[in-house]
Structure 1
Amino acid sequence: MGRLSELFEPDSVAVVGATDREGAVGRAILENLSTGFAGEVVPVNPNRETVLGHECYPDLERAPAVDLAVVVVPPPVVLETLREIGETGIENVVVITAGFSETGSEGARRERELREIAEEYDLNVVGPNSLGIMSTAVGMNATFGPERAIEGGISFMSQSGAFITAVLDWANDQEIGFRDVVSLGNKSVLAETDFVRQWGEDPETEVIIGYLEDIDEGAEFIRASRDVTDDTPIVLVKSGRTDAGAHAASSHTGAIAGSERAYETGLEQAGVVRARSVQELFDYARALSGLPVPESESVAVVTNAGGPGVLTTDAVGDSTLEMASFTEETLEGLSESLPEEANVYNPVDIIGDADADRFAEALDTALADPNVGSAVVVSAPTAVLAYEDLAEVVVETRDRHEKPVVTAMMGGQRARAPEATLRESGIPNYFDPARAVSGLDALARYRDVRRRSRDDPATFDVDRERARRILERTKSRSGNQLGIESMDLLEAYGIPTPEGAVVDDPESARELAESIDGDVVMKIASPDIAHKSDIGGVKVDVPDAEVADAYEDLIARARNYQPDAQILGVQVQESLDLDGSTETILGMNRDPQFGPLLLFGLGGIFVEILEDTSVRVAPIGETEARDMIDDVKASPLLAGARGREPANTDAVVEAIQRLSQLVTDFPAILEVDINPLVAGPDDARAIDLVVTVDTEEL
C-alpha cells in the first residue's frame, strides 16, 4: 500500500459510473467535482459520450491517465472495475457502491474478493459503501453529499457517511474549517490507522478527529497514534459496543475487563483524547487546533457576571483543571485597577459596568501571574460593553502572554461578528462557559499526552518451548482450560509460584507434603471447576498426618459437586504467610480489536465485588506496569498502609511484565486468571491459575 498524499491531492479524478441522470449518485459526485476542483475531471461510462459537458470515456483504458478513481457502478460490476483500475496503474480508489459486507453473506464474499484484488494490485481503497472523500487543499469534493467543507486545519474521518453530511452542514454554519474529510465506509482496505499515519505526516493538519464504531487492529492503532500524538492531537468519538463483554466469561478477568473497557484503555494508551458527544468532539477540536498547550492546570476566570463566573468555577471543579491561586502581586495589581466592588480573587468579577478596557487590565494582570496556566473570559452583554472591542483586547492580551485563552461571550447575534475576530486568531468562543472550560481541559489532557513517559516492553529470558508444550495439553482434553496443574506455565516465564505439584493419589500427596516445610495447602485440580473455594475444594494449613485423608475428602467433594468433571488430582502446595502479604489479581482477557488486555487489582474472593482494578493493552513496559498498580485505589496497601510492611512492588511490576510477554508471545491464550498473586515483603508469587486456550491457534 503506497502513501496517501495523491489520494487527497490528485491532479485528475475519474468518476467510473458518471451519469447525467437526475438524482443519481454518479451525477452528484460529478457535479461536486466540477465545482471548485483544480484538477481534471474524467467521466467514465460506456453508455454516454458526454456527461454534464465533460467528454465521457467508455472505459479507463481509453480515458486519460488519472490519479484517483471514484467508483459508482452497481455491486456486481465493482470487482471487474477494480481489476481494470489495477491494470491501468491507478493506485487510489474510492468505492462509493454499497452492497458488500453490510448486506449479508454474498456481500461479504464480494468484499473479500475486493480485498484480494486490492492486495494483488497494491491499491489504496476507501470503502466500499463510502460517501466519498474531500480535500480543501485542492478544492476536491469527491462525495455525493450536499455540502462541501470550508478550508481549515481539521482532518476528519467517519465510519458514518450520514454523520459527515450532518456535521458539514453544522460546521459550515459555525465556520469550522477542514483539511481532509474521509467517509471510511466498510474499511475493507484503508482504515482509521492508515489515515492517522497520513495526517500525522501532513504539516497542514492541526488536529485529527473522528467518529468510529469500531477499530480494526487495535494494537497497531495504538502504536501509530502514539507516534502521531507527539505532534498532532487526535480526538475521537467512539460509539457502539462489541458483544465480547456480554459473553459468559470463564475467569474473574474476563468478567471484569469487557470490550468497552478495552476501548477506553486502548484509546488512552494511544494518546487519543476521547470525546463523549459530537459537541465535545468539535469543542475539543477548536481548542486543540488553535491554542498552545498550557504549562499548568491552573485557570484564571475573568468575568463581568457573577452567576456565569460561578458556573465556570463549577465546571473547572468538574474537570482535570484547577482554579489558580493568585500571587500577592497579582492581587495587589487587580485591587489597584478594579473598582472597590469588584472581586479580585479567582474568579475575578470585574462587575457589570465593565467595558473592554477593564477586561483587558484584569486579563493582562491575571495572565502575567506565574501561577496561571490559562484563562477563561466570560461575558454577558451590557450597554457599556462592545463585544467587538472585547474580542480585540482578548486577542492582543493573549498574544502578549502566549498562554491559552478561551472565551464565553454569552449571547446570540451580538457575538457573531466578534467570533470571527477571535476565530482568525485561533481563540474559540463558546456560549456555555462549561464548554469553554471543556476546551481548556482537552488542551491540558493533550499536554499530559505529550509529556507522558514510555518505555519499550522488556524481553525476559523465558522457556517458550516449555510453555508451548504446556498449552498444547488442551488439545487432548474435552475442554480448553488449564488450571493449577499447569502452574509450570508461569514458571516457564519466570513468574514465581509456591513449592508444590499436582498428585493423583493419597500416598503421593503425603510424600510431597513431607518434603515441604510446614503445613500445606491442598486444592482440587480440575479444569472444569473454576471456583474451587465455593465447593469446599480448598484446604489450608493441613499437617502432614492429615494429608492423605484430606486428599480423599477433596476428591469426594468434587465428584459430588460435578460428577462429570475431569479430576486430575489434588495440588499440594507450600503454605504462605498471608497475614503480612496482600492478595492481588493479575490476569488477561483477549479483546477482539485490541488483543491482550492485562488486568491488575485487589485479589482474593472480593475481586468481583470491589472491582478495584486497572487495565492496559499488552505489550507494556515497566512504566505502564507501575501505572497499573498506582491506578488501583487499594494500592496504598502494597505501600505499607496502617503499619504493614511494604510489599515488594518491584516483584509485582516484573510479574505484570512477564505475563505481558507470555500473552503477547502466544495469541492462542484467550484468558489468564492468576488469583491471587500474593505480594509480600520479599516477592510476589502466583497461588492459583486458570488459562483458557484457543486450541486452533496453537
Structure 2
Amino acid sequence: MGELSALFAPERIAVVGATEREGSVGRAIMQNLLDAFEGDVVPVNPGKASVFGITAVDGVGEADADVAVVVVPPEIAVDVVREAGEAGIEGVVVITAGFGETGSEGATREAELIEVAEAYDIDLVGPNSLGIMSTPVGMNATFGPENALSGRMSFMSQSGAFITAVLDWANAEGIGFKDVVSLGNKAVLDESDFVREWGDDEDTDVIIGYLEGIDDGQEFIETAREVTQETPIVLVKSGRTDAGAQAASSHTGTIAGSDEAYEAGLEQAGVIRAESVQELFDAARVLENQPLPETDDVAVVTNAGGPGVMSTDAIGDSRLSMASFTDETLDAFSEALPAEGNIYNPVDVVGDADNERFRDAVDVALGDDNVGSVIVLSCPTAVLDYGQLAADTVELQEKHRKPVAACFMGGDRVEPAAEILSDAGIPNYFDPARAVFGLDALSRFRDITEREYESPTTFDVDRERVREILSSVEGRADNRLGVEAMGLLDAYGIPTPDGEIVDSPSEARTVAEGIDGDVVMKIVSPDILHKSDIGGVKVGVADADVEDAYEDLVSRARNYQPDATIIGVQVQEMVDLDSGVETIVGMNRDPQFGPLLLFGLGGIFVETLEDTTFRVAPVSESEAEAMTREIDAAPLLRGARGRDPADVAGVVETIQRLSQLVTDFPSILELDINPLVATPDGVEAVDVRLTVDPDER
C-alpha cells in the first residue's frame, strides 16, 4: 500500500451520524460496514446509547478510529472534521453535501474544510461523496445498495450514482474491484492522489475512472506518466461537448477545460481514454488479465464468414493489422481445414466445424510468429460445444502466452462458456468490434510502457525583453498585442522577417529602403486584429509607394473604427509564400492543464479546414516532431507532389521555443503565430497576435 493505507486498510472506523432510522444515509453506511468489514465499527451519535447493538460515543474524538465517515449536516461537518484531526484520525470521508457544489455559501464552507484538513494533515475524501470501498478488508463505507466483488481493478468516479450503477452491472457480470472511491468535490484528495496510490499498490492491476474534470492537469500528467509505465489507466472523461461541459460544471462545481486539452493531456499522461462505459470495461478487462502483444498483427479464427468480415473491418479502423501467415502456417491450415475453408486471414473453419477442427485452427494461429494476438470468433451450431471451445481456448492461450479475445456470439448458451473464459481472464465480447477494441487497448498500453519521456529543451532566450514588451500592454482595455509582439518571438529565437513598426510616412519610407525588394505593410492596432478584412494589409509595396500606402492604411483603419488605437504601421520584408507551407503555431491557456499548444495548416484556412493537433506545454523535441506528423497536411511539409521538403526541423524548434515562452510567462493567455511559413530554406513567423492577463503580468 501507499500513503493512503489508512483509508483503505483501517482497523477501526467511526461513523459520525450513525443511526437506525429507516431510509437514512447513516443507517445505510452502518449496515454496509457491519455486513463484511473485518475491523471494528464505532457509531458516533450523542443522542443514542447504541446503534445496531453497538455502544455509541458522543464525539468522534472518543472513537479511537483510523477513519471517520462523516454523515452530519453541512453546518457542523467542518467542526466534526476538526475534532477528528485533533484526535489524530488520518482518514476522513465526508459524505455530506452542501459544499462547493451549492454556491457561494457552500464554497466558503468547503474552503474551511480544506483549511482544517491541511492543518491536521488529514487524507480527506469528498465532501459530497458516496463513500469508499476496499474489498480486501471487506470495507463498504458507502450508502450504495451494492457491495463490490473482489478483484484487481481500482475504480474512482466523480459521480456517486455512476458507481452504484456500475457495481450493480459488474456484480451480474462477475467483475470485481480492489478499491472503489467516490471522489465527490475533491476538496483535498483528487484523481492524482488515487492514481499515485494505486500505482504503488501491488494488488491493483488496472486503474479505471469516470471524471468530469481534472483539478491540476500538469500534476496529473506528471503522476500518470510514472504510473502508466507499469499500471494501465483507463478513463471516461465526460463533458466533451460544450453542453456536456456545462452540465458537468453544474453537477460538481467543476470548471471543465476544453476537450482538446483533455485529449492531449490524457494522451501525454499515458492514459487510455474510453468514450463510453462499454469501452471502459472492454479495455479494463483485457488489460487486467491478458499479456501484452509483441506485435499489432491479429489473426481471426471463425466459423462464420459474415462476423469474420466485421472483425476485419474493425481491425482496419484501429491501429491493429490483419496478420500475414507464414508458409508453414498456411500449410498447417491446409491440412486442418476442409477445401471450402479459408486458410488466409480471417481463417474460416466453416460452419460445420466441430470442436477438434476449431481447436486445431486456433492452435495453428497462435503458434505463428507473425501473430501478435488472436480473436476466437464463433456462432452457435449444432456440432459445436461452446463450453468445450471455451476450455480449449483457455488451454491454448496458456500454452502460447499470447493475448486472446473471445467473441462467442449468442444468448443463453454462451453464458457457461463465458464464465469459463472469464475465470481464466479471457474476456468474451458479443460484438467483434468490441473484441478488436480490447486488443487495441493492449497494443496501446504496450506502446505506453515503452515510451521514453524526454525533458524539454531549454533555449538561451532574452526574458527581460519579453517582460518589457508585455508591460507595454498596461492600461489597454483588451490586453492584446498584434504585430508589435514580433519582438517577443525575436527574444525567444523564433525567426521573423526584417522590419519595424513606424508612426510616420517618412519613417516608413526610410525602413523600406533598408529592406531588399518590395515590402509588406500592415496597420498596427490592438483594436483591429483581422487586418486583411478591412484592407489593413498591403503586399508588394515598392519604395516609391510606401508613404502613400502608409496614409491609405491609417485612413482605412480610421474609417473602419474611428475610436481604434493606431500604434502605427509595420513595414516588413516580404516572405515568399509560394515556395513554402503556411502553418500555424499557437497557444491557448486551459484552466486545468495550462498552456495548450496548437499546430496545423495555417494562413486563411486555419478556421475553415481545422487541420490541427494539440499538446500540453512544455513539450519535448519528440513531442513537437510528432505534432508535425499528425496533421492531414503533413505530406506538404515533407515534399508531397514533387515539392521540395520544408524545413521541418525549423518548425519543430519553433514549437519548442514557443512552448518555452508560454511556460515561462503565465501572463500570456493566447498566442497565435499565423502564418509560420516553412520553406526549404527555413521558417519565418510572418504575423503574431496575443492576449495578456493583466493580473498575472
Corresponding residue of 1:665: 664
**In the TM superposition, what are the counterparts of 1:169-248 in structure 2 within 5 Å?**
169-241=168-240
What per-residue deviation string (whole Å, max 9, x for no partner) do you get for residues 604-630 of structure 1?
111111111111111100000000100
Contact 1:245 1:258 in 2 (8 A): no
Corresponding residue of 1:250: none
What per-residue deviation string (whole Å, max 9, x for no partner) do you get for residues 612-671 of structure 1?
111111110000000010011112222122332222111111110010011111111110
Corresponding residue of 2:13: 13
Corresponding residue of 2:54: 54
Distance 1:514 1:55 in 2: 94
Distance 1:695 1:550 in 2: 34
Q: Match of 2:50, as an amino acid?
A: T
Contact 1:245 1:259 in 2 (8 A): no
What per-residue deviation string (whole Å, max 9, x for no partner) do you get for residues 45-104 of structure 1?
1111110011111012222x2111100011101010011011111111100001111112
Contact 1:233 1:446 in 2 (8 A): yes
* 1:35 counterpart = 2:35: yes
Corresponding residue of 1:344: 343
**In the TM superposition, what are the counterparts of 1:173-572 in structure 2 within 5 Å?**
173-241=172-240, 259-572=258-571
Contact 1:93 1:125 in 2 (8 A): yes
What per-residue deviation string (whole Å, max 9, x for no partner) do you get for residues 105-130 of structure 1?
21111111111111111111110000
Q: Match of 1:71, as an amino acid?
A: V
What per-residue deviation string (whole Å, max 9, x for no partner) do you get for residues 510-538 of structure 1?
11111222221110000111111111111
**In the TM superposition, what are the counterparts of 1:96-175 in structure 2 within 5 Å?**
96-175=95-174
Distance 1:406 1:477 in 2: 61
Q: Secondary structure at the match of 2:295?
A: coil
What per-residue deviation string (whole Å, max 9, x for no partner) do you get for residues 185-213 of structure 1?
11111111111111111111111111111
Q: Which moved more, 1:43-52 or 1:632-641?
A: 632-641
The 1:642–1:605 alpha-carbon spacing in structure 2 relative to 1, beyond 3 Å, is same
Distance 2:292 2:565 in 1: 60
Instruction: State TM-score, norm by structure 2.
Output: 0.96
| Structure 2 spans left out of the alignment, 5+ residues | 247-255
Q: CA deviation at 1:395?
A: 1.1
The 1:82–1:167 alpha-carbon spacing in structure 2 relative to 1, beyond 3 Å, is same
Q: Secondary structure at the match of 2:178?
A: strand
Q: CA deviation at 1:479?
A: 2.0
RMSD of the alignment, in Å?
A: 1.7
Contact 1:244 1:591 in 2 (8 A): no
What per-residue deviation string (whole Å, max 9, x for no partner) do you get for residues 225-264 of structure 1?
11111111111111115859999xxxxxxxxx98111111
Contact 2:406 2:427 in 1 (8 A): yes
Q: Which moved more, 1:436-445 or 1:614-623?
A: 436-445
What per-residue deviation string (whole Å, max 9, x for no partner) do you get for residues 333-364 of structure 1?
01111222222111111122222222211011
Distance 1:431 1:33 in 2: 37
Q: CA deviation at 1:413?
A: 2.6
Distance 1:314 1:494 in 2: 48
Q: Match of 1:394, as an amino acid?
A: T
Q: Match of 2:584, as an amino acid?
A: I
Q: Match of 2:632, as an amino acid?
A: K
Contact 1:596 1:664 in 2 (8 A): yes
The 1:669–1:637 alpha-carbon spacing in structure 2 relative to 1, beyond 3 Å, is same
Q: Which moved more, 1:622-631 or 1:331-340?
A: 331-340
Q: Match of 1:697, as an amino acid?
A: E
Q: Secondary structure at the match of 1:576?
A: coil
Q: Secondary structure at the match of 2:172?
A: helix
Distance 1:678 1:633 in 2: 17
Distance 1:525 1:603 in 2: 21
Distance 1:579 1:355 in 2: 66
The 1:352–1:646 alpha-carbon spacing in structure 2 relative to 1, beyond 3 Å, is closer
Distance 2:431 2:295 in 1: 23
Q: Match of 1:377, as an amino acid?
A: V
* 1:696 counterpart = 2:675: no
Q: Secondary structure at the match of 1:573?
A: strand
Q: Which moved more, 1:50-59 or 1:338-347?
A: 338-347
Q: Match of 1:39, as an amino acid?
A: G
Q: Secondary structure at the match of 1:381?
A: coil
Distance 1:245 1:632 in 2: 26
Q: Which moved more, 1:654-663 or 1:632-641?
A: 632-641
The 1:245–1:388 alpha-carbon spacing in structure 2 relative to 1, beyond 3 Å, is closer
Q: CA deviation at 1:325?
A: 1.4
Corresponding residue of 1:676: 675
Distance 1:582 1:477 in 2: 34
Contact 2:257 2:591 in 1 (8 A): no
Distance 1:121 1:512 in 2: 65
Corresponding residue of 2:592: 593
Contact 2:60 2:68 in 1 (8 A): no
The 1:59–1:166 alpha-carbon spacing in structure 2 relative to 1, beyond 3 Å, is same
Distance 2:60 2:449 in 1: 47
Moved over 6 A (4+): 244-247
Q: Match of 1:534, as an amino acid?
A: D
Corresponding residue of 2:613: 614
The 1:431–1:651 alpha-carbon spacing in structure 2 relative to 1, beyond 3 Å, is same
Q: CA deviation at 1:423?
A: 1.6
Q: Which moved more, 1:202-211 or 1:2-11?
A: 2-11
What per-residue deviation string (whole Å, max 9, x for no partner) do you get for residues 386-439 of structure 1?
222111111111111111011111222322222222122211112222222221
Provide the identity percentage.
Answer: 67
The 1:466–1:239 alpha-carbon spacing in structure 2 relative to 1, beyond 3 Å, is same
Corresponding residue of 2:249: none
Corresponding residue of 2:251: none
| Structure 1 spans left out of the alignment, 5+ residues | 248-256
Q: Match of 2:676, as an amino acid?
A: L
Distance 2:219 2:241 in 1: 19
Q: Match of 2:303, as an amino acid?
A: N
Distance 2:356 2:381 in 1: 14
Contact 2:603 2:675 in 1 (8 A): yes
Corresponding residue of 1:251: none
Q: CA deviation at 1:135?
A: 0.3
Contact 1:672 1:690 in 2 (8 A): yes
Instruction: State TM-score, norm by structure 1.
Output: 0.96
The 1:244–1:532 alpha-carbon spacing in structure 2 relative to 1, beyond 3 Å, is farther
Contact 2:534 2:556 in 1 (8 A): yes
Corresponding residue of 2:629: 630
Q: Match of 2:46, as an amino acid?
A: P
Contact 2:575 2:686 in 1 (8 A): no
Q: Which moved more, 1:336-345 or 1:132-141?
A: 336-345
Contact 1:316 1:323 in 2 (8 A): yes
Contact 2:375 2:404 in 1 (8 A): yes
Q: Secondary structure at the match of 1:342?
A: coil
Q: Which moved more, 1:406-415 or 1:23-32?
A: 406-415
Distance 1:243 1:108 in 2: 24
The 1:86–1:258 alpha-carbon spacing in structure 2 relative to 1, beyond 3 Å, is closer
Q: Match of 2:202, as an amino acid?
A: P
Distance 1:140 1:53 in 2: 19
